[in-house]
Amino acid sequence: MQLRCLLMFALAFLLAPALPAQINMVTEMDKPMSFGTRPGFSVSFPNTDRRLVDDVWTDFVKNNFSSKLKRGKKGEKTATGCRSASVSAGDFTLYSEVEKIGDGAQLNVWFDLGPTFLNRREDASRTDDTKKLLTNFYFDVRRAVVGQEVKAEEDRLSDLDKKLSRLQRDNTNLLRDIETYKEKLKKAEEDLVQNQKDQDTTIKDIEQQRKAVEEARLRQGNVENERQ
């Protein structure tokens, strides 16, 4: 019994640091927006491109709130006629902005329920549900980031595959060129041997022809001598 209690205590101790990290993925805030300072929520993404967060948020609003983001005041985006039981029993309007924070980005979002903006003081239950919903968005962004990393690594692999294919093709062409050059070299060596033989034969022919010329000239001289 004591051992079981010790194990349960140790497990609770190990899990305790992870719980705040999950809760802190979504932060409740009072932050200025187009209607003044209003209660809302923020989700931070270190080392994440702001445009990626913005794109994922656009899809998230469409899929989870059945609405479409439109540009609003002061760089905000707004979506009207939103529906989600996690946020409100009726339709609501959301306002949001994705701002660049250092090398990362942060989503700030406010849920306008009509008479008030969603906040813990007036609706703790739906505030918790909304934070869970936005935690899902956090993981959507993380999946998109990893997806981009996978795509980048796949692109690099594809580039290396193409490079290898080019090198293999060049290797084949070079080997073919070498064989061609070998054949040409062999032919040139054979031609060189034949050329040398032809030179030797021609030199002999020249010597013989020189003798023939001398003999002809001698006969010509004899003819002239006969006339005298």
Instruction: Give 194-220 pLDDT, tens digit per residue.
Output: 999 999 999 999 999 999 999 888 888
Domain-located, residue 33: yes
Q: Which two tokens stand for residue 148?
A: 């981009």
Domain-located, residue 146: yes
pLDDT, tens only, 109-165: 999 999 999 999 999 999 999 999 999 999 999 999 999 999 999 999 999 999 999
Q: Check residue 227 and give its pLDDT.
A: 66
Question: Which amino acid type is present at position 47?
Answer: N
Domain-located, residue 225: no
Task: Tell me the CATH number at 139.
Answer: 3.30.310
CB 108 within 8 A of CB 29: yes
Domain-located, residue 124: yes
Domain-located, residue 47: yes
Contacts 24+ apart (CB under 8 A), 113-119: 113/87, 113/88, 114/90, 117/38, 117/39, 117/40, 118/39, 118/40, 118/87, 118/88, 118/92, 119/28, 119/39
Residue with tokens 């062999």: 186
Q: Check residue 220 and give its pLDDT.
A: 81
pLDDT, tens only, 13-53: 333 333 333 446 899 999 999 889 999 999 999 999 999 99
Q: Check residue 182 and give its pLDDT.
A: 93
Domain-located, residue 221: no
Q: Check residue 219 and give its pLDDT.
A: 86
Residues 6+ apart with CB under 8 A from 141: 43, 45, 48, 52, 53, 56
Domain-located, residue 32: yes
Q: Check residue 11 and give its pLDDT.
A: 38
What is the domain count for the chain? Answer: 1
Range of the domain at 110: 2-150
Residues 6+ apart with CB under 8 A from 52: 105, 141, 144, 145, 148
Mean pLDDT confidence for 166-184 = 94
pTM of the model: 0.68
Domain-located, residue 125: yes
Please report, rounded to a whole number, the percentage of residues in the chain having pLDDT higher than 90.
80
pLDDT, tens only, 43-99: 999 999 999 999 999 999 999 999 999 998 778 999 999 999 999 999 999 999 999
